[in-house]
């Protein structure tokens, strides 16, 4: 529910007086010596606009010896009756592979109740160009190809206590690449659609569907718990299932901590386990209004 909770925060930006900024450190580790770490800085340049900068890397000894780096520059706009976000991203040339693209999404509140119940719809689209080595009939060759994704999400909240999120995404590709000839792609397809995993997904998906539920324990406890499952269908390759769960704790008025576990399995392969730690720290002169 990380994205849903972030959107809820950003929709409340007009309620903040003064400048407010925050840092997010998202660290994951797990099977095959996997490590992933990213640091994001957000700041509101006005009561309705938030900009950010992100740098991160991942390494997976089952794929590459060296780290794969990536960079993002998100910008978000919150209006009275919609929320718009754009996030260009870039994977610099490494391992004879590179990728660049962008994702945009639009959130529209369908209903808002006095008891804090609501229904939100999110429509997102993304495009990416990746250049990597392919095993073609004439031998290995470095080729470029493009992928696009369209995604629809619906989030329902009951009394700001129970949250239900459903997602569905479709992917299209253009070029000579296939899951059978990819050698060392660097793109994580979680960049262009919500896949419900803590690890990068390098294979080329055809579609993905997922559900998540969350329970806000406030005001008795300053925490929330979440559970989700997603199914990923790859083009001419075995499908994958991903189960995740975790707890988010409010440490104080300026920081929170999120711990999660992800069970990921591709059909016909051994299951993988991953863990995530995410810390948010708020600072600045902003104070939230009533």
Task: Say whether pLDDT at 25 is over 50.
Answer: yes
Whether residue 219 is preceded by a cis peptide bond, meaning omega within 30 degrees of 0, is yes
**CATH number for the domain harbouring residue 255:** 2.40.160.60
d(CA 121, CA 25): 27
d(CA 68, CA 80): 39
- With H, G, I as helix, E, B as strand and everything else as coil, classify residue 2: helix
In the prediction, which pLDDT does 290 show? 36
Segment 44-73 shows an average pLDDT of 89
In the prediction, which pLDDT does 64 show? 73
Question: pLDDT per residue over 142-189, tens digit each?
Answer: 899 999 999 999 999 999 999 999 999 999 999 889 999 988 899 999
3-state DSSP helix/strand/coil % of the chain, to nearest 5 = 5, 65, 30
Closest by CA to 20, choosing from 279, 254, 184, 259, is: 254
Model confidence, pTM: 0.89
Structural domains counted in the chain: 1
Range of the domain at 167: 2-288
d(CA 175, CA 142): 12
Q: What percent of the chain has pLDDT over 90?
A: 72
Segment 89-103 shows an average pLDDT of 90
Exposure letters 41-68 (e unless 16+ CB within 10 A, then b): ebbbeeeeebebebebebbbeebeeeeb
Segment 212-239 shows an average pLDDT of 94
Closest by CA to 55, choosing from 28, 36, 33, is: 36
For residue 8, the 8-state DSSP code is H
| Residue 268: Cβ-neighbour burial (10 angstroms; 0-12, 13-18, 19+) | exposed
Task: Say whether pLDDT at 60 is over 70.
Answer: yes
At 285, is the pLDDT very low, low, confident or very high (cuts 50, 70, 90)?
A: low
Task: Say whether pLDDT at 94 is over 80.
Answer: no
| Residue 150: Cβ-neighbour burial (10 angstroms; 0-12, 13-18, 19+) | middle
At 19, is the pLDDT very low, low, confident or very high (cuts 50, 70, 90)?
A: low
């Amino acid at each position: 529910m990380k994205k849903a909770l972030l959107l809820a925060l950003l929709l409340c930006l007009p309620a903040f007086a003064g400048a407010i900024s925050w840092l997010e450190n998202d660290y994951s580790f797990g099977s095959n010596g996997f490590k992933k770490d990213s640091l994001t800085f957000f700041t509101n340049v006005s009561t309705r606009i938030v900009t950010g900068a992100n740098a991160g890397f991942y390494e997976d000894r089952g794929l590459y010896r060296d780290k794969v780096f990536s960079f993002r520059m998100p910008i978000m706009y919150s209006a009275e009756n919609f929320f718009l976000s754009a996030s260009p991203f870039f994977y610099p040339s490494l391992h004879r592979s590179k990728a660049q693209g962008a994702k945009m999404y639009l959130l529209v509140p369908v209903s808002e109740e006095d008891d804090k119940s609501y229904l939100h719809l999110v429509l997102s689209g993304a495009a990416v160009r990746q250049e990597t080595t392919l095993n073609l009939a004439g031998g290995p060759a470095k080729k470029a190809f493009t992928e696009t994704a369209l995604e629809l999400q619906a989030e329902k909240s009951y009394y700001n206590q129970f949250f239900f999120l459903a997602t569905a995404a479709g992917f299209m590709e253009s070029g000579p690449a296939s899951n059978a000839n990819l050698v060392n792609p660097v793109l994580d397809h979680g960049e262009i659609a919500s896949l419900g995993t803590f690890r990068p997904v390098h294979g080329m998906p055809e579609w993905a569907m997922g559900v998540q539920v969350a329970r806000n324990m406030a005001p008795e406890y300053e925490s929330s718990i979440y559970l989700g499952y997603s199914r990923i269908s790859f083009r001419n390759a075995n499908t994958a299932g991903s189960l995740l769960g975790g707890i988010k704790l409010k440490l104080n008025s300026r920081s929170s901590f999120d711990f999660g576990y992800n069970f990921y399995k591709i059909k016909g392969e051994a299951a993988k386990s991953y863990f995530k730690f995410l810390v948010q720290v708020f600072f600045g002169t902003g104070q939230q209004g009533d």
